[in-house]
Amino acid sequence: MLYTIPDYYQKFHCIAGDCEETCCAGWQIVADPASLKRYRREKGPYRNTLKEKIDWKNSCFKQDEDRRCAFLNKDNLCEMYINIGEKSLCRTCTRYPRHIEEFEDSREITLSVSCPEVARILMSHLEPVTFQTVEKEGEEEYEDFDPFLFDKLLDAREVLYRILQNRALPVKIRMGLSYGLVRDFQRRINHEDLFSTDGVLEKYQKPAARAFVEKMTKAAEAENAYLFIKEMFHKLFQLELLREDWGLLLLETEKRLFLDMDAGTYRTLTEEFLQWMEEHDMHWEIRKEQLLVYFVSTYFCGAVYDGEALSKMQMALLSVDFVEELLKAKWLRNEKSLDDEELVELVYRYSREVEHSDYNLKKLEEMMPVENGSFC
């Protein structure tokens, strides 16, 4: 069995009571059957508290009116942990913020940027991210698993990392190349022509592909990039709302960037914002790269289960665009200023809303245009 983790994985330590946005509030914590069984069998003095604070019917922990877990005390510490120890924690609490993608004979473990500490670690990681794979004993066989498609997806993802981490090119061009590569790759999947995907991977690493994407980027800038992002951003309102304040943030961002200004003003403002980010050492090009690699590493190979590689790539690209729009609106609100903590905050808030709802992840993929050149 192969286990893969990103190089910053070991840097993570939960900061518990010091966390500004604890993971024990704002969403429902579902307990796994084995933990529920343990809670039911608890014999000590904490037995009655467990009985009272667990929603046995829905297999989850009860919450107070502020949607804080019933076991969370006022210092943001877990009372269950304090009273009956670390081993009492359910699988959700033990694993978070680890995210595990399961494939036949392999597990890919990432850290979710919905955790503020992880977002902080990733946003201060300025070197290109690498991944480490270790082999441990154990084999398994899945019934409906296509190992050939999985191998091709792994190959494509390696090339995507190479492209996305090519710092000789502006991130915008790297995004365009990644989009083009996966669009062509998807056509091969649709036509059941996986043998020709190697040619696609080669093509997108050649200078001619770069020149083409550069040309497309200029055309997209001049014509429809503004309308495209405006339309896609508006679609975020179709997602399930996990936190009230997220809806307000979306409304404010949309108003500032898309309702209060026209395409020309938006373009000028975007240029000014990007220049400000560069002049103030916000490392936005690098941080975009890290986010792109994060989304691609987490979701791209999941296409082995549904054959939808393109929508996963689009989701990665648009997620980074959405975060940029949120930052831009925040910068505007701050009278053209932004700091690292605000950047980290918008990253984890985006991730919390989008990545922690199966409905939202599915909906976001469905919202992606079938094929659209505006990513270039």
Smallest separation (angstroms) from ligand SF4 to the CB of 117? 4
Task: Quote the CA–CA distance of 8 and 12 in Å, as a whole number.
Answer: 7
Closest to ligand SF4 by CB, 43 or 87: 87
Strand partners, 54: 61
Rg of the chain, C-alpha, whole Å? 22
DSSP 308: -
Shortest Cβ distance from residue 185 to ligand SF4 (Å)?
34
Question: Which one of 18-26, 99-107, 145-153, 319-327 is the stretch in contact with ligand SF4 (CB under 6 A)?
Answer: 18-26
Q: Which stretch binds ligand SF4 (CB under 6 A): 14-22, 27-35, 145-153, 212-220?
A: 14-22
Write the binding mask 187 to 226 for ligand SF4: x where contact by CB under 6 A, - elsewhere.
Answer: ----------------------------------------
Among 8, 61, 117, 246, contact with ligand SF4 (rule: CB under 6 A):
117
Segment near ligand SF4 (CB under 6 A); pick from 2-10, 16-24, 171-179, 191-199: 16-24
Degrees to nearest 5, angle at CA 238 with 183 and 217: 35
Scanning 17-25, 166-174, 302-310, 357-365 for contacts with ligand SF4 by CB under 6 A, the matching segment is: 17-25
Tell which one of 5, 14, 194, 263 touches ligand SF4 (CB under 6 A).
14
Three-state SS at 4? strand
Contact between 166 and 34 under an 8 Å Cβ cutoff? The reply is: no
Q: Does 96 bind ligand SF4 (CB under 6 A)?
A: yes
Give yes or no for a contact between 93 and 29, defined as CB atoms under 8 angstroms apart. yes
* Residues linked to residue 30 through DSSP beta bridges, in sequence order: 60
And the tokens for 317? 């690209």
Identify whether the C-beta of residue 318 lies closer than 8 Å to the C-beta of residue 368. Answer: yes
In the complex with ligand SF4, the residue whose CB is nearer, 69 or 327, is: 69
Q: Does 71 bind ligand SF4 (CB under 6 A)?
A: no
Give yes or no for residue 355 binding ligand SF4 (CB under 6 A).
Answer: no
19 lies in the site for ligand SF4, by CB under 6 A:
yes
Distance between CA atoms of residues 68 and 62, nearest Å: 8
In three-state secondary structure terms, 300 is helix
Helices (H), the chain: 33-41, 47-53, 79-84, 91-95, 116-124, 147-164, 171-190, 197-203, 207-222, 225-234, 244-254, 263-279, 284-299, 303-306, 309-333, 340-355, 358-367
How many residues can be counted in the chain? 376
- Indicate the residue among 97 and 180 with the shorter CB distance to ligand SF4: 97
Q: How far is the CB of 127 from ligand SF4 (least distance, A)?
A: 23
The answer to whether 361 contacts ligand SF4 (rule: CB under 6 A) is no
Q: Which of 115, 169, 200, 225 binds ligand SF4 (CB under 6 A)?
A: 115
97 is an interface residue for ligand SF4 by CB under 6 A: yes
Strands 2-6 and 106-111: parallel
- CA-wise closest residue to 281 among 222, 367, 239, 340: 340
d(CA 238, CA 226): 20
Closer to ligand SF4 by Cβ: residue 114 or 374: 114
When the beta carbons of 231 and 341 are compared against ligand SF4, the nearer one is 341
With CB under 6 A as the contact rule, which of the stretches 98-106, 110-118, 152-160, 248-256 interacts with ligand SF4? Answer: 110-118
Measure the CA–CA gap between 361 and 104, rounded to whole angstroms: 22
Q: Does 122 bind ligand SF4 (CB under 6 A)?
A: no
Q: Write the binding mask 21 to 40 for ligand SF4: x where contact by CB under 6 A, - elsewhere.
A: -xx-----------------
Site residues (vs ligand SF4, CB under 6 A): 14-16, 19, 22-23, 96-97, 115-117
